[in-house]
Amino acid sequence: MAVDEPAEPAGARPGCGGLLTVLGCDGSYPGPGGAASGYLVQAGGVTIWLDAGPGTFAALQLAADPALVDAVVLSHEHPDHWSDVDSFAVWRREAVPGRPVPVYAPPGLRRRSYFAEDPVLEWHEVEPSQRVAVRPRPLQPTPGPASAPGGGAAAESAGGLRLSFCATDHGPPTLAVRIELGAPSGVDGSTRPALGYSADTGPGWAPMELGPGIGLLLCEATYTGDREGEGRHLSGRQAGALAAEAGVGRLVLTHRRPTTDPAALAREAVEAFGAAIEQAAAGQVHRW
Ligand SMILES: [Zn+2]
């Protein structure tokens, strides 16, 4: 496993660079003391909670002020990717009443939530190939001295984030997502590379479907090559090969099942990718 970015304080100013904070990365279910899939994406003056698996809301509260979450994006209806959004809804009802948070999810997921019809959440059904813009919202950090890092971090002039989706090769409707700044970020008007997230998928999906210019691909790799075909997931070998084919800059593997040997998974992924890879770990912050 190679981690080429030093950890930095979560909750750093979202407006000054793209940050990806791993809240949880266990595949299919949380391992001992772990959390399932969930990430914070902070850039362009906005904070997006990308997947909300069990254990990730607890981690989110350590990484940032949950009141600063501008949108929740859920990849699919398997509970290891969304169930903590209901805990978040309970928290919002008490902490920030009267201000619904947009939740973007594929068809069918909303009806599984206890808060499907509750105005605390503002559900949006997302189809593959759809585009969504998330723009900075007025600041309303949680009152009180116990606010977590990240308060007051949104940049008013930031251009938000643009999201584009595509369907993956999984059971229920599942969305991979490309995330990029809503406005050029360089002094010369250049744009930063995009962040790609595979969600859960089998080998029938390819990262190149997210388009060119993926600087960091967060890609699932659930098991090792000897288990390929057991489910609609990827092995380390498959994830590495697909990422190489797509020409992504960096590869961060996630959704490793707790019973999978991380060293064996990394070995086959590095060989297939042809370069060093990173494996997601809870609390890690990656710049993209
Ligand atoms: Zn999963």
Block mean pLDDT (10 aa), the chain, length 288: 38 58 98 98 96 98 96 98 98 90 97 97 95 83 46 53 97 97 70 92 97 96 97 97 97 98 98 98 96
Residue 256 alpha carbon to ligand 1 centre in Å: 9
Residue 37 alpha carbon to ligand 1 centre in Å: 7
Please give the Cα distance from 54 to 56 (Å, whole number).
6
Local structure of residue 147 (DSSP, 8 states) = P
With contact defined as beta carbons under 8 Å apart, do 87 and 57 qualify? yes
> Counting beta carbons within 10 angstroms of the beta carbon of residue 222, is it exposed (0 to 12), middle (13 to 18) or buried (19 or more)?
buried
With contact defined as beta carbons under 8 Å apart, do 242 and 206 qualify? yes
Residue 154 alpha carbon to ligand 1 centre in Å: 30
Please give the Cα distance from 135 to 177 (Å, whole number).
17
User: According to the model, what pLDDT value does residue 77 have?
Assistant: 98
Residue 235 alpha carbon to ligand 1 centre in Å: 13
Local structure of residue 247 (DSSP, 8 states) = T
Per the structure block, which two tokens stand in for 68? Answer: 């600063």
Architecture of the domain spanning 15-141+159-287: 4-Layer Sandwich (3.60)
Residue 81 alpha carbon to ligand 1 centre in Å: 6
Residue 254 alpha carbon to ligand 1 centre in Å: 10
Please give the Cα distance from 196 to 249 (Å, whole number).
11
As residues whose CB is below 5 A from the ion ligand 1, the structure lists 80, 200
User: According to the model, what pLDDT value does residue 186 have?
Assistant: 61
Residue 201 alpha carbon to ligand 1 centre in Å: 9
User: According to the model, what pLDDT value does residue 158 have?
Assistant: 74
Residue 274 alpha carbon to ligand 1 centre in Å: 26
Provide the 3-class DSSP secondary structure of residue 225: helix
Query: Strand 214-220's sheet: what is its strand order?
Result: 131-134, 161-167, 175-181, 194-197, 214-220, 250-254, 278-279
> Domain coordinates of the chain in residue numbers?
15-141+159-287
Residue 288 alpha carbon to ligand 1 centre in Å: 23
